[in-house]
Structure 1
Amino acid sequence: MTLAVLGEDKTARERLQEFLRVYASVNTRLAYATDLGVPLEWVPGYTPPDPTRRRGRRRAEPTGLEWLNWCASNEIRFADVRVEHVERWLAELADAGYSDATRGRMLSAVSAFYTKYLLREGLATRNPVSLVDRRAQHLNKPAGTPSTTKRWSFQACRALLMAAYLLAERSRDGRRDRAMVEILVGTGVRADELVGVNLADYRRAGPNDIGVLRVHGKGGKDREVALAPPVADALEDYLAVRVEPAVPALPGQVGTATRPIFITSTGKRVHTSHLQAVLTRLCRTFTEPPKAPWLRDLLATPDGEFVATHLAPLRDTIHPHSARHSYATHAVERGVPPRQVQRDLGHSALATTEGYLHDEDNVRNSAAHELAPALHRGWLATSA
């Protein structure tokens, strides 16, 4: 990538790496790099996936409409960008089929690039994104708007935990997978936060005490989350059989200064795509025709029937982030103050937490339950 607009004293690669290092999380750096059009091999700390191993969802190939690529192809210097250029770029994204949510996210990445780097380095004198009318661009989502992420019912959450428990002794990594599911459902942490924890991040005073796990959140903000005794017990069941690999460690593997809690058989840190695979496998194991005799017997039990019933609706859509929304909603429905849920999830603003809440009380308590029957009473047989 040749971007003379980034100055001649440093290469474009050096400049963009300086910007991305503002963010402590490699996953956050990758997100900004993808939206801006930075080559992934330029991202500090990024390790390309092993092509011989099956991975999760692949990152989309660049389309040329990412901000850096768009500016380069239109020969526009960052210092010369006006709001008209940004609006033209957004229009081209819309014409190319980008959703409003994606365009809004990409616009935020551009704004961060200006405010956190270009302005600071004197490569621009203003942030043109600040003048964009987001409402006119259909990018303005009111604070507290419920997310479209699907939430799991309370019974579905129970079914996931039961499924992981019932299968924990049936595979080599069953205890590890159960511990990951317990923490995901029981704390509301993000998937990347879960796989990013290290052995030094966990502590527990005694067998019947709560556990405490330090997670490394967005923006380099760490927080401690509580592991209720059943969750901490599941984690310690895994730690009791967790084995350090005997082979020499590679960068990012155990044996280095940071020792991941959740590791693969080769000692590598578990990837977020594995967590997605675990959830999918749990659903399909209990909802597809069984092949093994032990599984047929398990599905015939009351526990097996319960799990199958409540995991069937999730089989094709299950995603780790739904656990976060489920945690927030079920906690508030059980009387936990929203401010505490905000702290649990690591949100900077309460409005963000409110967007996670799927408050079914509003539906159950709606005046419609009184008004509609009253309007139909006396002439519609089904109305009381």
Structure 2
Amino acid sequence: MTLALVGEDKTARERLREFLRIYASVNTRLAYATDLGIPLDWVPGYTPPDPSRRRGRRRAEPTGLEWLNWCGANGFRFADVRVEHVERWLDELAGAGYSDATRGRMLSAVSAFYAKYLLREGLATQNPVSLVDRRAQHLNKPAGTPSTTKRWSFQACRALLMAAYLLAEHRRDGVRDRAMIEILVGTGVRADELVGVNLDDYRRAAAHDIGILRVHGKGGKDREVALAPPVADALEDYLRVRAEPAVPALPGQVNAAVRPIFVTSTGRRVHASHLQAVLTRLCRTFTETPRQQWLRDLMATPEAEFIATHLGPLRDTIHPHSARHSYATHAVERGVPPRQVQRDLGHAALATTEGYLHDEDNVRNSAAHELAPALHRGWLATSS
């Protein structure tokens, strides 16, 4: 990549790697690299997956409309970019079929690149993104706008925990997967935060006490989350059977000084995509015709019927991030102050937490239930 936008003292590769090192998480670095158009082999700490073992969604190939590629094609230096150039870029993204959500995310990546690196390094004098009219670009979402992420009902959360518990002894990694589901549902942590924890991030003073897990959140911000006794017990059940991998990880896969809590049989840290696979498998196991005899026997129990009833509707839409929204909503519905939920989730602003809440009580208790019938009473036959 040749970019006429960096100082003469460093190459483009060196500059962009410096920017990416601002973020502690390799997954965060990959996200910014993808949105900005930075080659993935420039990302510090990134090891390309083995193509023969790669599962799940593959990263999209560059289209040439990523910010760095677009600037290079148009001969722009970062110091010369103005707001009209950014808006022209956004228009081209829209014309190429990029959704508003994707354009908004890519614009935020450009803004972070300017604010956190270029301005501090003296490679630009202003952040042109700050002058973009997001409303005109259809990128403006008011603070506190409810998220479109699906929330799981309280009973669906119970069904997930029951399903993971019932299958724990029948799957090769069932005990590990159950611990991950318990933490995901019981704390509201992000999937990346969950798989990013290490052995020295967990502590528990005594049996039957709460556990404390330090998670590494966005922007390099750590926080401690409480593991209620049932959740901590599930984690310790896994730690008792967790063994150091018989096959050492390949160089670069896991730092020798870091010991992840959740590892694969080959020594690699479990990837966040594994949580999606586990959730999908739990739903399908209890909603499809079983083949093994032990599973047929299990499906005949009342517990399995309960699980199938509540996980069946989630089978095609279940996603790990829904656990985060469900945690926030169910906590507030049970009287937990929103400020505490904000701290639990690691949100910088309360408005972000409010956007997670799917408060059905507000709908059920709405004044509309009193006003509308009163307006129609006496002249509309169906009104009471």
| Residues 1:152 and 2:152 are matched in the alignment | yes
C-alpha contact (below 8 Å) 1:249/1:255 kept by paired residues: no
Task: List aligned pairs for 1:236-255, cutoff 5 A.
Answer: 236-251=236-251
Deviation of the 1:82 alpha carbon: 0.8
C-alpha contact (below 8 Å) 2:248/2:267 kept by paired residues: no
Cross-structure match for 1:223: 223
Deviation of the 1:55 alpha carbon: 2.1
Cross-structure match for 1:45: 45
| Residues 1:190 and 2:228 are matched in the alignment | no
CA distance in 2, matches of 1:284, 1:196: 27
TM-score, normalised with respect to structure 2: 0.97
Cross-structure match for 1:291: 291
C-alpha contact (below 8 Å) 2:197/2:261 kept by paired residues: yes
CA distance in 1, matches of 2:181, 2:90: 39
Cross-structure match for 2:27: 27
Task: List aligned pairs for 1:80-119, cutoff 5 A.
Answer: 80-119=80-119
C-alpha contact (below 8 Å) 1:212/1:226 kept by paired residues: yes
CA distance in 1, matches of 2:12, 2:277: 37
Task: List aligned pairs for 1:58-73, cutoff 5 A.
Answer: 58-73=58-73
One-letter amino acid of the structure 2 residue matched with residue 332 of structure 1: V
CA distance in 1, matches of 2:352, 2:142: 11
TM-score, normalised with respect to structure 1: 0.97
Deviation of the 1:247 alpha carbon: 3.2
Please give the secondary structure, in 2, of the residue aligned with 1:215. strand
CA distance in 1, matches of 2:249, 2:255: 6
C-alpha contact (below 8 Å) 1:55/1:273 kept by paired residues: no
C-alpha contact (below 8 Å) 2:246/2:265 kept by paired residues: no
C-alpha contact (below 8 Å) 1:6/1:12 kept by paired residues: yes
Deviation of the 1:206 alpha carbon: 1.2
Task: List aligned pairs for 1:334-353, cutoff 5 A.
Answer: 334-353=334-353
CA distance in 2, matches of 1:184, 1:98: 31
C-alpha contact (below 8 Å) 1:65/1:93 kept by paired residues: yes
Task: List aligned pairs for 1:170-319, cutoff 5 A.
Answer: 170-251=170-251, 256-319=256-319
CA distance in 2, matches of 1:70, 1:84: 14
C-alpha contact (below 8 Å) 1:201/1:215 kept by paired residues: yes
Q: Deviations over 1:36-91 (max 9, x none)?
A: 01011111111111212142222211111110011111111111111110110010
Gaps of 5+ in 2: none
Gaps of 5+ in 1: none
Q: Deviations over 1:295-333 (max 9, x none)?
A: 222222111000000001110111101100110111011
One-letter amino acid of the structure 2 residue matched with residue 329 of structure 1: T
C-alpha contact (below 8 Å) 2:188/2:324 kept by paired residues: yes
Please give the secondary structure, in 1, of the residue aligned with 2:5. helix
**Paired residue total:** 384
Please give the secondary structure, in 1, of the residue aligned with 2:60. coil
Deviation of the 1:222 alpha carbon: 0.7
C-alpha contact (below 8 Å) 2:100/2:138 kept by paired residues: yes
Q: Give RMSD over aligned pairs.
A: 1.4
CA distance in 1, matches of 2:247, 2:53: 19
Please give the secondary structure, in 2, of the residue aligned with 1:213. strand
Cross-structure match for 1:124: 124
C-alpha contact (below 8 Å) 1:204/1:211 kept by paired residues: yes
One-letter amino acid of the structure 1 residue matched with residue 169 of structure 2: E
Please give the secondary structure, in 1, of the residue aligned with 2:226. strand
C-alpha contact (below 8 Å) 1:19/1:113 kept by paired residues: yes
Please give the secondary structure, in 2, of the residue aligned with 1:6. coil
Deviation of the 1:248 alpha carbon: 3.5
Cross-structure match for 1:18: 18
Deviation of the 1:34 alpha carbon: 0.8
Please give the secondary structure, in 2, of the residue aligned with 1:240. helix
Please give the secondary structure, in 2, of the residue aligned with 1:129. helix
CA distance in 1, matches of 2:253, 2:104: 36
Q: How high is the sequence identity, in percent, across the aligned residues?
A: 89
C-alpha contact (below 8 Å) 1:146/1:354 kept by paired residues: yes
One-letter amino acid of the structure 2 residue matched with residue 351 of structure 1: A
Please give the secondary structure, in 2, of the residue aligned with 1:224. strand
Q: Deviations over 1:109-165 (max 9, x none)?
A: 111111111111121111111111111111111111111111111111000000000
